[in-house]
Amino acid sequence: MYIGFELKNLKKASFGDSFEKYLKIGEEDFEEQKLEIKETINELTNADGSFDGNKMQSAWFPKIDADIFLSHSHADKYLVIAFAGWLKNVFDLKVFVDSCIWGYSEELQKIIDESYSRITDGRYYYDKVLYASSHVHMMLNTALMQMIDNCECIIFINTPNSVKPKEIINKVVSPWIYSEIGMTKLIKKKSIEDHRIKELNEST
């Protein structure tokens, strides 16, 4: 990561009459990222039926080559996807929308619970669910940290959905947003050259 920003007052009206246009561009890019994840889901199991942790990490939380990491409330998903579409259309920047893997963590949790935590009468073992949840969230948190480290820029979309008004200043609602903001203070900052260096052949 080279730099981070906080973006306030982003609204649908910010895009004028082009909101739907940018939303479509963002959604197309978003779908490509989802396909990258879905393609390897069936390769998660070992011969004995157990899940392979390394394959699980790479399949559900892969490293995606992106320029900008967008941190936001899930309630602002479509607004943020439109913003990502605008960045793509105007600057040709690839944007990572963090909620694209939040949802997958929930799906992964369900798969594990159905396979390992389910009781025959339809209920679940509480301890097993918590144990699986801790592993999934640890993988997700690690993946988010790697993405923030790899992206040149992180932008926190600050709306009333992400921060509670009339309470403690900057009290964050989402634990993931809180974690991502915390990571930006811990991750070693890279130079802009580290992100933009390109190999040049002899003739160049």
* Model confidence pLDDT, tens digit, residues 50-63: 667 677 766 666 67
* Model confidence pLDDT, tens digit, residues 94-122: 898 877 665 567 777 777 787 778 887 77
Phi-psi region of 166 (alpha: psi -120 to 50; beta: other; left: phi over 0): left
> pLDDT tier at 166 (50, 70, 90 boundaries)?
very low
> pLDDT tier at 83 (50, 70, 90 boundaries)?
very high
| Distance (Å, whole) CA 87 – CA 41 | 30
What confidence score (pLDDT) does residue 45 get? 63
| Distance (Å, whole) CA 66 – CA 70 | 10
Cβ-defined contacts of 140-146 (< 8 Å, 24+): 140/61, 140/101, 140/102, 140/105, 141/179, 142/57, 142/61, 143/57, 143/61, 143/62, 143/63, 143/101, 144/98, 144/101, 144/176, 144/179, 144/180, 144/183, 145/183, 145/187, 146/63
| Distance (Å, whole) CA 181 – CA 112 | 29
Residue 8 has pLDDT above 80, yes or no: yes
Which residue did the predictor score with more confidence, 203 or 56?
Answer: 56
Which residue did the predictor score with more confidence, 32 or 148?
Answer: 148
Residue 23 has pLDDT above 90, yes or no: yes
Point out which residues pair with 5 in neighbouring strands.
Answer: 155
How are beta strands 68-71 and 3-8 bridged, if at all? unpaired
Within 10 angstroms of residue 66's Cβ, the number of other Cβ atoms is 20
| Distance (Å, whole) CA 74 – CA 80 | 9
What confidence score (pLDDT) does residue 184 get? 77
What confidence score (pLDDT) does residue 36 get? 54
What confidence score (pLDDT) does residue 114 get? 78
Q: Is the pTM of this model over 0.75?
A: no
What confidence score (pLDDT) does residue 68 get? 94
